[in-house]
Structure 1
Amino acid sequence: MSPKSVPEGIWADQPFKLLDTPGKDKPLSDPVVYVASHMALVHNTFIRALNSIYLHAPLIAPGNKSLARDMLTYCQCWVALVALHHQAEENFLFSAFEKRIPAAKGILATNVRQHDEFHSGLDAFKKYVEIALAGGEPYCSEKLLKLVDAFSEPLMKHFADEIPTLMRMQEAGQIEEVMKIHEEFEVIVRKDIDASKVGPMTLLNADKTFEGGKHPFPVMPKFVPYLIKYLVSRKYAGAWKFGSCDYWGQPVTLFMNTPEGKQALKAGNE
C-alpha cells in the first residue's frame, strides 16, 4: 500500500477480525453472558483502533510531519488503553476469579500465559512510538507495521480465546460472583485511567450499532461523551481524526476517505 493509495469503502473492521459476542444469540440477563460479551466489546474497541492504525499509517509519508505526529500520538494512546486493560487483568481480574470462585481455578491459566506471548512485542512498539515522538527516530510506516505484525497474532488469539474462557465460568457456578468481580474490575480500570488518552480512544472506536445495537457499551451517563469531546480530548486533539466512530458510537467514514483526509494526505505527501 503506497502513500498515494487510498482504498475506498473500507472500514475499521479489517484487517483484524472483530469478535462476535456470546450475547449475539444468548440473553444478556445471564451474568456470565453479559460479562463475556462486555469483554468482547472491549476487545473489539482495541481491534478497531488497531485496524485504523494499520489502514492509515502506510498512507502517511515520512515527510508529512503533522500527520505522522498525529498518527504516532494515536498509537501512543492505543498502547495506553491496551496496557491499562491488561494490567488490571493481571493485577486483579484473573486472580479474583480463582480466589473467589474455587471451581474456576485453572480455567484462566491459558489466558494468563498468553499475556507473556505479546508483552515484548507491545513494549517494542511502544518504545518506537515514544522515540519517534521525541524526534529520536523518523516516522516509518514500514517499521511501525512490522512492529504491529510482531505482536498482532498472539494478541488477536488472546482477545478471541478469552471470551469462551469467561463463558466457562458457567461451569464453575457462583455466576453472581462473576458479575461482582467484573464490576470491581471496571472500578479499578476507571481509577487508573489516563482520561486524556483512554477516554477518546475508547469512545471513538466503540461501535454502538454493532450486532444490531443491542449492547450498551460503553455504559456511562449521557453527559460524558460531551465532556470527553469538548474538554478531555483537547490534549491530543490531532490524534482523534483516525478514530472509526464519533463520540456517540456511530461509525464514521475513515479519515483517509474523507475530503479533508485526502487533501491532508496529498498536501503532506507531495
Structure 2
Amino acid sequence: MSPKAKPEGVWADQPFKLLDTPGKDKPLSNPVIYVASHMALVHNTFIRALNSIYLHAPLIATSNKILSRDLLSYCQCWVALVALHHQTEEKFLFSAFEERIPGAKGVLAVNVQQHEEFHDGLAAFEKYVDSALAGKESYDSERLLKLIDGFSEPLMTHFNDEISTLMRLEETGQGKDVMKVHEEFEVIVRKDIDGSKVGPMTLLNADKTYEGGKHPFPVMPKFVPYLIKYLVSRKYAGAWKFGSCDYWGQPVTLFMNTLEGKKALAVA
C-alpha cells in the first residue's frame, strides 16, 4: 500500500524508535532478508503498541475507572503477544536454526541470553497489570511508566540485535532452509495464539504503509481482518481504542488525539 499522510498529532512511532528493516533497500526475494525483515516488522508491532501505552498512560487519571481498565486490558494483551513470541522463539525458532542450518551453531545464543535480561522487568509489569485488573491495586500511571522503564532498554536492545543476528544467517548460504524454518515457526505461532488478545493487538499495530508499503505483513487471507474486527475482538473490545492502526494496517489518529479521546480523558 502506498504511504498515507501521517496521522494527526503525536503518533506511535515514539518514544521508542521503530526498526528499519533489512529489506528497506534490499530485495525481499532474498530469503534471509525476508525473514529478518519479517522479524523487524513483528518487533515494530510490539513497539508501536508499547508506545501507545506509554503515551496514553499519563493522560488517564486514577479516578477514570473505565479508561484505566481499558488501558490495563490493552497492556495485558500486549504482554500476551510478546510472551507468545519469545516463548516460541526459545522453544522452536532458535534451536531449529542452529540444528538445521549448517554454520548457524551458536549464532543465536546471545538472543536467548537477552530474553533473560528483560524477563524480570516484564514479569513485574505483568504482575502489576494483572493485580490492578483484579482490583487488588489501583491504577497508577507513574508506576506503570516506571515499570516499563525497568525493562524497555534491554527489550529494545534485543529487538534491534536480533535482526542483525538473523542477517548473519546469510553467511551460511542456506537461504532456502532458513525460509523453511521461518515458515514452520509461523505455523506454530498461529497454533498457540490466544486469538482474542493476540489477533487484534497484532493487526491494530501493524502498519502496512511502513517503508513505502513494500512489506506483506501480516500475511493472511483477506477475510481474516473482518473476522477479527467483528468477532474475535469482542472479548477485550474496550482495549482496542488504543491501537495505532486500523484492522487493515492503515495508521490512524491515536485515541488521545481524537475528539472522542480528549473528552474521555477529561473525565475525572
Asked whether the two chains share a fold, i.e. TM above 0.5, the reply is: yes
Q: CA deviation digits over 1:52-95, x for unaligned, max 9?
A: 00000110000000000000000000000000000000000000
Within the alignment, does 1:173 sit opposite 2:173 as a pair?
yes
Q: Which position in structure 1 is the counterpart of 2:66?
A: 66
Q: Which position in structure 2 is the counterpart of 1:246?
A: 246
Percent identity between matched residues is 83
Partner SS state of residue 44, structure 2? helix
Per-residue deviation, 1:110? 1.0
Measured in 2, the distance between the counterparts of 1:216 and 1:256 equals: 29
Aligned residue runs from structure 1 range 67-82, under 5 A? 67-82=67-82
TM-score, normalization by structure 2: 0.97
Aligned residue runs from structure 1 range 34-73, under 5 A? 34-73=34-73
Measured in 1, the distance between the counterparts of 2:21 and 2:265 equals: 36
Q: After TM superposition, what 4+ stretches of structure 1 lie above 3 angstroms from structure 2?
A: none
Q: Which position in structure 1 is the counterpart of 2:142?
A: 142
Measured in 2, the distance between the counterparts of 1:207 and 1:103 equals: 34
Per-residue deviation, 1:102? 2.9
Measured in 2, the distance between the counterparts of 1:182 and 1:144 equals: 34
Q: Which position in structure 2 is the counterpart of 1:4?
A: none
Task: Note the residue ranges of structure 1 that are not aligned, 5 or more in a row.
Answer: 1-7
Q: CA RMSD in A?
A: 0.7
Measured in 2, the distance between the counterparts of 1:247 and 1:9 equals: 20
Measured in 1, the distance between the counterparts of 2:139 and 2:248 equals: 31
Measured in 2, the distance between the counterparts of 1:202 and 1:140 equals: 26
Measured in 2, the distance between the counterparts of 1:141 and 1:187 equals: 37
Partner SS state of residue 103, structure 2? helix
Q: Which position in structure 2 is the counterpart of 1:3?
A: none
Measured in 2, the distance between the counterparts of 1:190 and 1:9 equals: 34
Q: What code does the residue aligned with 2:167 have?
A: M
Within the alignment, does 1:209 sit opposite 2:199 as a pair?
no
Q: Which position in structure 2 is the counterpart of 1:156?
A: 156
Aligned residue runs from structure 1 range 83-232, under 5 A? 83-232=83-232
Within the alignment, does 1:236 sit opposite 2:236 as a pair?
yes
Q: What code does the residue aligned with 2:198 have?
A: V
Task: Note the residue ranges of structure 2 that are not aligned, 5 or more in a row.
Answer: 1-7
Per-residue deviation, 1:175? 1.1
Measured in 1, the distance between the counterparts of 2:58 and 2:150 equals: 17
Aligned pair count?
261
TM-score, normalization by structure 1: 0.96
